Amino acid sequence: MIRYIARRIGTSIVVLIGVSIFIFALLHAIYPSPAIDVLGSRANSTLIAAWNKQNGFDDPWIVQYLRYMGDLLRGNMGYSYKLNQSVASLLSEVWARSAWLSGASLVLAVLIAVPLGVYQAVRRNTFGDYAATTVAFSLYAMPVFLLGLILIQLFALDLHWFSFEGSQSTSLPSIIVDPHSMTLPIVTLTLLTVASFSRYMRSSAMDVLAQDYIKVARAKGLPERLVLLRHLLRNACLPMVTLIGLSIPALLAGNLITETLFNYKGLGLLFYTALQNVDYNVLLAYTMIGAVLTIIGNLVADIALTVADPRIRLA
């Protein structure tokens, strides 16, 4: 087991290095140097070349890559020339708010999808199952922003129950206790995630229900509630562990669009602003962080599944 975990971590580090090289090379190819942003758009090529030489942007990209990785490991993520702040300070201002949005919606999605999936499996092919499947299917086919739009139109503009903007506050505690403005963004992200989670939960629960030990439990006379809680739930949740780990990229993408739609100042909106300004360092830092989170998510999903499921035999 320890050997498996060590091997997995080793593979993840190799993948991480490969990903970082690719991302850096790609961004470097698209956007070689921020000289024009610093010097102004009327700088001539001699000035640009001199600035590049002075700031190390004319070294071969491998050297620049190694220098960037060295800085990154010391916590220095570069400087944003468009926003005149170090990238690390920009990220530290907003990451907590994004973490709250994504974390709350993920937890809520799991809390809804697991019972829903079990219900759909137990009451298979009844009206409730078909209704839930139809809803999940339509949500699955909707882009994030369309779902958010529908919610805004219905609940914010027509019924005035919630605000059409995310919370504009800068302090995390006040955001957490602000359901008026945070409900719609969180619900948007949650519904998207629930759509796919509940489908997986449903099929996994159906597989477990067909097992012999469920029949034995029922034949023993165990009340249905205990059959579901003690036997079905534990075994059906195993694929969810993998699913949660693998849903990190989708969560990041959904986060980006939701924050842009609701004007919620988190990492996603920061990335969107950086895209419009072509703020190279912020883009690079954010993509690297996204890649790291994805890899960590996969790693945790693999290891958690190995720990949770004793049937998995490791080579």
Partner 1 sequence: MSLTGAGSLPPLDITRAPEGGEVGPVQSGWRLALREFTRNRLAVTGTGILLFFVLFSFVGPVFYHGNYLTSNLLATNVPPGTGYPLGTNNQGYDELALLMKGGQAALEVGFFSAVIAIVIGALYGAIAGLAGGIVDAVLMRVVDVFLSIPFLFIVLIVAVKFGASVLSLSLLIGAFSWLVPARLVRGEVLTLRVRDFVAAARVAGASQARLITRHLLPNAFGVVIVNVTFQVADAILYIAALGFLGFGLQWPNQDWGDLLSNGITYLQDGYWWQIWPVGACIVLVVMACNLIGDAARDALDVRLRRR
Residues engaged in binding partner 1 (CB under 8 A): 11, 14-16, 18-19, 22-23, 26-27, 30-31, 137-138, 140-146, 149-150, 152-153, 157, 249, 252-253, 256-257, 260, 271-272, 275-276, 278, 283, 286-287, 290-291, 294-295, 298
Residue 84 C-beta: closest distance to partner 1, Å = 21
Task: Look up residue 274 and give its two tokens.
Answer: 């950086």
Residue 146 C-beta: closest distance to partner 1, Å = 5
Residue 294 C-beta: closest distance to partner 1, Å = 5
Residue 248 C-beta: closest distance to partner 1, Å = 9
Question: Between 5 and 142, whose beta carbon lies closer to partner 1?
Answer: 142
Task: Look up residue 260 and give its two tokens.
Answer: 């842009």
Question: Between 25 and 222, whose beta carbon lies closer to partner 1?
Answer: 25
Residue 275 C-beta: closest distance to partner 1, Å = 6
Which amino acid, one-letter code, is at 131?
Answer: A
Question: Between 50 and 305, whose beta carbon lies closer to partner 1?
Answer: 305
Which amino acid, one-letter code, is at 234?
Answer: R
Question: Between 208 and 291, whose beta carbon lies closer to partner 1?
Answer: 291
Which among 212, 285, 197 is positioned nearest to 247, based on CA atoms?
197
Question: Between 68 and 232, whose beta carbon lies closer to partner 1?
Answer: 68
Residue 60 C-beta: closest distance to partner 1, Å = 22
Residue 143 C-beta: closest distance to partner 1, Å = 5
Q: Are 292 and 249 in contact (CB under 8 A)?
A: no
Measured CA angle at 104 (ends 103, 105), to 5 deg: 90
Question: Between 80 and 228, whose beta carbon lies closer to partner 1?
Answer: 80
Question: Between 88 and 253, whose beta carbon lies closer to partner 1?
Answer: 253
